[in-house]
Every structure is written in C-alpha cells, then in structure tokens.
Structure 1
Amino acid sequence: MKSILVIGIGRFGKHLCENLVKNGNDVMAVDQVEEKLEDILPIVTSAKIADCTKEEVLRSFGVGNFDICFVCIGTNFQSSLEITSLLKELGAACVISKATRDIQAKFLLRNGADEVVYPDRDIAKRMAVKVSANHVYDYLEFGEYSIYEIQPLDEWIGKSIKEMNFRVKYNANILSIKQNGKSSLLPSADHVFQKDEHLMIIGENKDIKGILKRL
C-alpha cells in the first residue's frame, strides 16, 4: 500500500483515484473546484479544495510524506508546471505529471517531474494499433519491446510450439495462452496451437510486427 497525492480531478484524475483505491492505496485528492471532488469523496482517504500553485498549500499537505504525487491538470499548463516544480522543491519523492504535447513533457521534466504521462495520446496510439491489424485483441509497448494478444496464424494450428521452433523462427516468446476464459502461463513446448486460442506474445517491435503482417 502506498500513500498517493492526486492534484487535479478531471476525467483522468478521477479514474486514477478510483483505480489507485481499488489497488489498496491511500489517496488524497485535491482540486480547486468542489464539484469535481463530489464523486470520489466516498472512496478516497481525504479530499481537499485548494489552489496548489501556492507553496503554503502544498507545504501544509506534507508532500514529502507521500510515496507518489500526481499532477493531473490538463487545461492550465502553467499551473501544472508551477505545481510540479513546487512539489520537488518541497521534497516530494516522486512526481508524475500529465502532458498533452511533447513540448509540455520537456518543460515538466526539466522542472522536476520524475515521469510524464500522455493518457490521451497513449490511448489513441493503442487503439490505432489494435484496429489496424487483424485479430489483435490487446497491445502494450514498452521501449523496443511489445506484448500482443493475438489469434494463432493458420499455419500454426495443429502444430506444437516445439515443432514450430517458435522462439528461433520468430525471435519471440509466448507468455501465456488464453482459451475459454482461462489462461495458462508459460506453456510447455509440447503445447499444440488451436484456432480458438488467444496468445500473449512478447518480442522486439520489429519481430512482432513481422508476425502481425501475416495475421
């Protein structure tokens, strides 16, 4: 369990609070607008109506005691930048700030953000990849590697992982196989591919994209 401060309760901030609480964290939510806090009041540990661009306000929160501080302001970049900088000056251990453009990310990182997130861009990118390829059910990219949930290629059906020499031929690994709502992690080399399965495969982006082109 972690202690987390979330500043800015728009759509992203609200969903972030809800999911942080579901994962067992203590969450303090802060926004200048009282109405934005109403929906999450029953679930967060505490909620404050405050202007976090003021140093004395952040200082009163004891920001150095939080494991993570999120700055989720999307409509006023100047405020986001000021709050990010103040948090680090006041001893925040980890500051994660929201950005909508690359130039914003650069300024946030230069002014104290430990990490920057682009929720709208990341969702759009993920959806574009998902709908652009046949039989792709989910997708996650991290650096030069990616994980895809896909349907087996027709040429794999009825053959085992060993028989396909999968790792060598495709330079990728199968993390799990999902069938009828049940998942099997790290399947054995003797597993035989079936048409109604979903495969979770991991590999370098260039190698995975080679598989996707054949779906």
Structure 2
Amino acid sequence: MKTVLIIGMGRFGHHLTNNMISLGNEVMIVDKDESRLEDLTKLISNIKIGDCTNEDVLRSFGVANFDICFVCIGTNFQSSLEITSLLKELGAKYVISQATRDIHAKFLLKNGADEVIYPNRDSAEKLAIRVSNDNLYDYVELDNEYSIYEIPALRQWLGKTIKQTNVRAAFHVYIIGIKKEYKTDFLPSVDYVFNVEDHLLVIGKKKDVDMILKCMS
C-alpha cells in the first residue's frame, strides 16, 4: 500500500483516483474547483479544496509524508509547472506530473518532476498498478487473463538456473525474456543463471504473477 496525493481532478485524475483506491492505496485528492470533487465524496473521505499554486495551501497537506505525489493538470501548464516545483521544494519524495506535449515534459523534468506521463484512461490503470508495487517495473495486458510482466528475480532464484528453479511448475508462468540494461535476451536457455540485475519478462495470469510479487514483499 502506498500513500498518495493526487492534485487535479480532471478526467485523468478521476481515473487514477479510482484505480489507486481499488488497489488498496491510501489516497488524498485536491482540486480548487469543488464541483470536480462532488462525485468522489462517496468513494473517498480525504478530499481537499484549494489552489495548490499557493505554497501555504500545499504546505498544509504535509506533502513530504506521501510516497507519491501526482500532478494531474492538463489544461494549465503554468500551474502544473509551479505545483511540480513547489512539491519538490517542500520535500515531496516522488513527483509524477502530467504532460500533453514533449516540450512540457522537458520543462516538468527540469523543474522537479521525477517522472512524466501522457494521460489517457488506459495509462491511468497501468500507472496505478505499476506504482502500487515496487517490484513491478512494467506490464503489457494481452487479454482479460494474460499479461506480460517485467519483474525482478526472486532472491532464492539468484545463482540458480531456470531449470533448477522450475519457475513454470512452481508459479505457472513462462519466462520469455531477460532484460539487462538496454539489451533483452528473448527465450533464454533453461541453463541461464539468474543474477540480481536481471529484469524478467514473464507471461502469465495476474493471480500467478501476484504470488511471485508477494514472495518479494
């Protein structure tokens, strides 16, 4: 579970809020327009109304206490830039800001954003799943059951081969690739030895990959 601050309740902010809550995270939402918050009052109790370009308003939220702060403002780039910068000045641990253009992304990254996302409904769902688990680097949904996940190797696998760990039988997933920095070895041999730097590309059902991720926590 992560503690999350989401600033800006436009379409993307709404989707992100719903997904973060469904994954069991502790969420606070903020917008200066009260009408954008009304439909969320039954879903979440930690709701604030305020202009986050005001440093005193932002300071009052205790931004340094959140694991992640999201800036989901797509219609006013100046405000997004100011809020992103203020969050970092006030000690925010990790800031993810919304951008609509590449030039906006560059300015946001230069002014405090740790990560920039380009919003749509699908990316809100994907982003919520990814940031809710430190051991899930990325994933690609294939259908309602199967996805490809990028995860680290379990500690007990290190120094052993794929054959020795028998990952397929133990967790019902298939290892389709091993990523190392900028290179990916697809369909690795069963004699491949796991090491700590490996990012594994596995294909399987969510419930089976969740079992692996639980073993890492």
Confirm or deny a common fold (TM above 0.5): yes
Determine the structure 2 residue equivalent to 1:159: none
How much has 1:44 moved relative to structure 2? Answer: 2.0
How much has 1:121 moved relative to structure 2? Answer: 10
User: What do the CA deviations read for 1:110-164 (whole angstroms, capped 9, x no partner)?
Assistant: 00000000124986xxxxxxxxxxxx7588798xxxxxxxxxxxxxxxxxxxxxx
1:75 is aligned to 2:84: no
Distance in 2, Cα, partners of 1:122 & 1:15? 9
Distance in 2, Cα, partners of 1:41 & 1:80? 24
Determine the structure 2 residue equivalent to 1:36: 36
1:85 is aligned to 2:85: yes
* 1:69–1:172 Cα change, 3 Å: same
Q: Is the 8 A contact 1:100 1:121 kept in 2?
A: no
1:27 is aligned to 2:33: no
One-letter code of the match for 1:60? S
Sequence identity of aligned pairs in percent? Answer: 61
Q: Is the 8 A contact 2:6 2:70 kept in 1?
A: yes
After superposition, residues 3-14 of structure 1 pair within 5 angstroms as 3-14=3-14
Say which structure, 1 or 2, has more relative contact order (CA 8 Å, 6+ apart).
2
One-letter code of the match for 1:118? Y
User: What do the CA deviations read for 1:68-91 (whole angstroms, capped 9, x no partner)?
Assistant: 100000100000000000000000
Q: Is the 8 A contact 1:81 1:108 kept in 2?
A: yes
Bigger CA radius of gyration: 1
* 1:175–1:74 Cα change, 3 Å: same
User: What do the CA deviations read for 1:37-61 (whole angstroms, capped 9, x no partner)?
Assistant: 0111122241111000000000111
Name stretches of at least 5 consecutive residues in structure 2 with no aligned partner: 124-141, 151-175, 178-184, 189-200, 210-217
Name stretches of at least 5 consecutive residues in structure 1 with no aligned partner: 124-135, 143-165, 186-215
* 1:53–1:172 Cα change, 3 Å: same
After superposition, residues 1-215 of structure 1 pair within 5 angstroms as 1-120=1-120, 171-172=186-187, 175-176=202-203
* 1:183–1:100 Cα change, 3 Å: same
TM-score (norm 1): 0.59
Q: Is the 8 A contact 1:5 1:27 kept in 2?
A: yes
* 1:121–1:25 Cα change, 3 Å: closer
Q: How many residues align?
A: 146
